[in-house]
Structure 1
Amino acid sequence: MKLHNAAILLLFWFGVFTVHADKGSSSSEVMRKFRCVNLSTRQLNIQNLVKYEKQQVPTDAIMFVTTGGIRICVSANQKWVQAAIKRIEERRAAKPN
Structure 2
Amino acid sequence: MKLHAAAFLVIFWLATFTVHTVKGSIGSQRMRKFSCVRLSTQQLSIRNLVSYEKQQVPINAIMFLDTKGIKICVSPDKKWVQDAMKKIDQKHTTKRK
Q: TM-score range by the shorter chain?
A: 0.5 to 0.7
Tell whether 2:95 aligns with 1:80.
no
Q: Distance in 2 between matches of 1:29 and 1:56?
A: 17
Q: Name 2:69's counterpart in structure 1.
A: 69
Confirm whether residue 44 of structure 1 aligns to residue 37 of structure 2. Answer: no
Identity of aligned residues (%): 55
TM alignment of 1:14-33, pairs within 5 A: 26=27, 29-30=30-31, 32-33=32-33
Which structure's CA Rg is the greater one? 2
Equivalent residue letter for 2:53:
E
Q: Give unpaired runs (5+ residues) of structure 1.
A: 1-22
Q: What one-letter code is carried by the residue in structure 1 that aligns with 2:42?
A: R
CA RMSD of aligned residues (A): 2.0
Determine the structure 2 residue equivalent to 1:15.
none
1:19-76 deviations in whole A, cap 9, x for unaligned?
A: xxxx75717844x532100110000000000000000101110000001110000001
Post-superposition, which runs of at least 4 consecutive aligned residues in structure 1 deviate over 3 A? 27-30
Paired residues in the alignment total 74
Question: TM-score, normalised to structure 2's length?
Answer: 0.68
